[in-house]
Structure 1
């Protein structure tokens, strides 16, 4: 496919998304009806679509449709944002998009409002400013970019240096990431990872650097009993188990999210006990309970840009209630002297420090010993982690 044809495809997919389809569904539907498109074409089109979703407001404004975005306006704006003349690709020739109309050809605005330029929803801007302060503009500018590809090295199977060398032999360049001693930042040929022997035999996993840094904060010992209560796919469970040979129990309110965890654990040489709610309670108390709670995901909007535009005040309030409920339901699972680790991939104070403070007011006999926030300026996703210790009586 030509560059113009790829842009035309992205316009079609974006219009499907803007009409109500999830971006992944729109991409899949397009690929099924255009089987001639090769893997390189599909990857390039996917990049166009997700770049446009990360920069929805600014691209729409640059494309002349700030109030009502369209796929066409978004791709015109994307080209202008990159300093490329849209007229050179919107030619109408072959499979290229139709030429620009007179209104589309007008010069774009040169001074976008701050929230538009930063691709920030207006209602969220005050909350983010309260949470990030002076970091708001640089963090939101980073949020407009693609997320880095970061690997976690399984220390049970290899070392970071050996993994880096073996990847280089496969033509995959990676450098140590400063956030965690297990992290490698992939700088060249990330598309080769899925077929890499290191990935296939469990020596490496894809995992954000800040997520790895959170795991490195956790008090893990070989004799501990550890519960990952909101395990999801089990990435943090596996990361913990690679650090210390404790007994690991994984639970999720939607067990199907953990369906791949047994195979991933086998590949990594790790044993994990998957448990339902009744079994979780019967195995308590635990020395460490990890709560990677449902949240706005504002720290990972680079990876899931739809979530930035889908979040509403009502949904945020609902998530805060879920977070409070999980804290209240699980803290009794912690043994005296044990730790409750409260984690989000959010940058909002309302989901982070405010939740911890409110819990400490509700639950006497607990103290916060460590609290740390990671932003995109640290080199990974946005994360928050607080270690809450149950004071022995």
Structure 2
């Protein structure tokens, strides 16, 4: 495909997203109906679409409208790409620019989040808001977690390099590597297939490393999802690990991943049956605002009503999970969110309801630390 044809395909996909189709589904649907597109074509189109979603308001302002075509016009202007060669009207290329599209003047670019979210971010992040908003326009780093019980980071780097994957060590977490080249080869690499490395954000890794875990503990990952944090904890200590999720299908790959990693994890649909636990980790459902670089369409679908629902769910999860913790044990709470309503406000509300618990540790991770936006806290039962 020519660069212009890739832009035209991106326009069509963005129009599907505007009609309500989730971004991943729109991309997959286009790829299935366009078998002629090679892997490089699909990757380039995906980049166009996600870059437009990350910078939706800015691209719409510079494109003059919120259509797939206008968004791509605005995006290319943001990227200082000449429009005439792309919007040429040639076969498979977008139609030539018309009056009103060829010149758009914008005095100041808008923020690329919904207005109501901007207010929440400002209240939550204060002086860090502007830089966080700038970072939200960029692609997130691709980060690996090395299972240090199997291999050192240095040796992992060497073996990954042999597979054409270049990495840099990260300070945020002891097992974190940032991929700088060859990312598309990760899932075919020997270390990935052998469970020595996993794709996991560095802030998530750092939060796990901050948990009060030690040898022989009985640990429950209460909102396990795919089980990434279960495996991360099991990579640090030998213990008894249990995983639960209200939607069990999310854990379907966990047994195979645990086997590759050389750890034992018990999947349970009734965590109370094995209670109490020395540590219960609740990586609660949340806005995902800290991961909007990776899922940029999510920020445009997010609503105040949904935030209210999530806050109620988070409080219910904490209330239920506390009853699974042994006396003297710990309850860990985590979100991939910047919003204080989901983070410290949630913790303070819990402590006000349950006077026999104390806050032992908390931290709000930001993009400036190298990972996603992430929050973690540890509560101790007296």
TM-score using structure 1 length: 0.96
Retained in 2: the 8 A contact 1:156–1:269? no
What SS class does the counterpart of residue 287 from structure 1 fall into?
Answer: strand
Query: 2:19 maps to what in 1?
Result: 19
Query: 2:180 maps to what in 1?
Result: 187
- Does residue 288 of structure 1 match 2:285? no
What SS class does the counterpart of residue 158 from structure 2 fall into?
Answer: helix
Retained in 2: the 8 A contact 1:220–1:246? no
- What is the CA–CA distance in structure 2 between the aligned matches of 1:378 and 1:144, rounded to whole Å? 17
- What is the CA–CA distance in structure 2 between the aligned matches of 1:214 and 1:148, rounded to whole Å? 17
What SS class does the counterpart of residue 8 from structure 1 fall into?
Answer: helix
Per-residue deviation at 1:251? 0.1
- Does residue 341 of structure 1 match 2:332? yes
> What are the residue-to-residue correspondences of 1:267-278 with 2, within 5 Å?
267-277=260-270
Q: Determine which of 287, 295, 303 is the counterpart of 1:304.
A: 295
> What are the residue-to-residue correspondences of 1:111-150 with 2, within 5 Å?
111-112=108-109, 116=110, 118-150=111-143
Per-residue deviation at 1:194? 1.3
Query: 2:41 maps to what in 1?
Result: 41
Retained in 2: the 8 A contact 1:63–1:104? yes
Q: Determine which of 173, 197, 202 is the counterpart of 1:209.
A: 202
- Does residue 353 of structure 1 match 2:348? no
- What is the CA–CA distance in structure 1 between the aligned matches of 2:283 and 2:289, rounded to whole Å? 14
- What is the CA–CA distance in structure 1 between the aligned matches of 2:14 and 2:119, rounded to whole Å? 29
- What is the CA–CA distance in structure 1 between the aligned matches of 2:19 and 2:54, rounded to whole Å? 17
Q: Which runs of 4+ in 1 moved over 2 A?
A: none
Per-residue deviation at 1:110? 3.4
How many residue pairs get matched?
382
- Does residue 4 of structure 1 match 2:8? no
- What is the CA–CA distance in structure 2 between the aligned matches of 1:365 and 1:223, rounded to whole Å? 25
Retained in 1: the 8 A contact 2:63–2:104? no
What SS class does the counterpart of residue 88 from structure 1 fall into?
Answer: coil
- What is the CA–CA distance in structure 1 between the aligned matches of 2:252 and 2:131, rounded to whole Å? 38
Per-residue deviation at 1:107? 3.1
- Does residue 237 of structure 1 match 2:230? yes
Could you give the per-residue CA deviations for residues 88-139 of structure 1, whole angstroms, max 9, x where no partner exists? 2100112110011111012331322xxx2x3021011111101000100101
Give me the CA root mean square deviation.
0.8
Gaps of 5+ in 2: none
- What is the CA–CA distance in structure 1 between the aligned matches of 2:123 and 2:20, rounded to whole Å? 32
Q: Determine which of 303, 310, 316 is the counterpart of 1:319.
A: 310
Gaps of 5+ in 1: none
Could you give the per-residue CA deviations for residues 322-360 of structure 1, whole angstroms, max 9, x where no partner exists? 000001111011111111001000000000000000000
What SS class does the counterpart of residue 363 from structure 2 fall into?
Answer: strand
TM-score using structure 2 length: 0.99
Query: 1:62 maps to what in 2?
Result: 62
Could you give the per-residue CA deviations for residues 134-180 of structure 1, whole angstroms, max 9, x where no partner exists? 10010111111111010000112111111011111222110111100
> What are the residue-to-residue correspondences of 1:85-164 with 2, within 5 Å?
85-112=82-109, 116=110, 118-164=111-157
- What is the CA–CA distance in structure 1 between the aligned matches of 2:28 and 2:376, rounded to whole Å? 35
- What is the CA–CA distance in structure 2 between the aligned matches of 1:138 and 1:40, rounded to whole Å? 32
Per-residue deviation at 1:223? 1.5
- What is the CA–CA distance in structure 2 between the aligned matches of 1:256 and 1:334, rounded to whole Å? 25
Retained in 2: the 8 A contact 1:63–1:108? no
